[in-house]
Amino acid sequence: MAHMASHRWQLNVCLSALTIFPVWARAGEGEELLRRSDAKLIPDTCTYRLALTTMTAGGETKSYDFVGFKKGANRNVLIVNGPAKIAGSVHLRKGDDVWTYFTTNRRVSKVAYQAVFLGTLLNYGDILASELSVDNEVTAVERTATEIVLTLRPKANHGGYAKVVVTLGKDSLLPMRRSYYALSGALVKECVFADIDTSKGTVAGMTMKFFEPVSGQRTSVKIWEVQILPSVPDAYFDENQIKSLWTE
């Protein structure tokens, strides 16, 4: 009897392991898919141009032009080229911190990750955190014939949306859509990716079209002239030196 009980115990352990293992496998698969997608989107170390146009539900339009530099997953800086009245202003992400410098008051300030970016429907995280895998973990993976859908939530001690649902092309792993949700479960905003240029083997440009369903506000972010660099000076990501990054 003891021998038979031992076999039953071993069988139960094996069945439990088989039940748990697929959950681990799906989670691991999702994290890997997200990392691979991030790596395809914006090169690790590069410079790029960025144009942002936002339109209110009433039809008012504002436009901004930037040059950006990125080094690694969590260092990204945008220098304002236009409009002229704020040209030379700087927006910097370094690690978990976001810093701004405005030429209008000549002050360097630390701002919240979720602070509104230049009066648009975007926040600083939307603009400066290109790698979602840095701040988020995958909680679910779904597949269709042409798409992979990942559900994300913020990692512990990381800011962000309560949930982000990311749709990737099944073969390309390039993003197609992102949907952002609040803690209440309400849809905060959506983003559709368009005009992704991979003609040179890597992404050289793309357009991100954001829409906020409650207010009807729209913001378009165009990224182009993406160029891989061997390195970017650390001074570009030093909040104490960002005042001097822009030259006419």
The pLDDT tens digits of the residues spanning 210-223 come to: 999 998 999 999 99
Confidence of residue 11 (pLDDT cuts 50, 70, 90): very low
The confidence score (pLDDT) of residue 27 equals: 61
pTM: 0.85
Side chain identity at residue 233, one-letter code: P
Cα–Cα distance, 93 to 105 (Å, whole number): 20
8-state DSSP, 73: S
Average pLDDT, integer, range 45-71:
93
CATH number for region 28-244: 2.50.20.10
Domain ranges across the chain: 28-244
9-13, 67-71, 105-109, 165-169, range with the lowest pLDDT: 9-13
Answer with the residue of higher pLDDT: 201 or 146: 146
78-134 tens-digit pLDDT: 999 999 999 999 999 999 899 999 999 999 999 998 999 998 989 999 999 889 999
Angle, vertex CA 230, rays to CA 64 and CA 226, nearest 5 = 30
> What is the secondary structure of 170-212 as a DSSP string?
TTT--EEEEEEE-TTS-EEEEEEEEEEE-TTSS--EEEEEEE-
Are 78 and 50 in contact, with CB atoms under 8 Å apart? yes
Task: For residue 153, count CB atoms less than 10 angstroms from its CB and return exposed for 0-12, middle for 13-18, buried for 19 or more.
Answer: middle
Mean pLDDT score of the chain: 88
Average pLDDT, integer, range 56-76:
92
The confidence score (pLDDT) of residue 246 equals: 82
Question: For residue 13, is pLDDT > 50?
Answer: no
Average pLDDT, integer, range 201-213:
94
First-to-last C-alpha distance (Å) of the chain: 87
The confidence score (pLDDT) of residue 26 equals: 59
pLDDT above 70 covers a percentage of the chain that reads 88
Question: For residue 18, is pLDDT > 60?
Answer: no
Nearest to 239 by CA among 24, 53, 93: 93
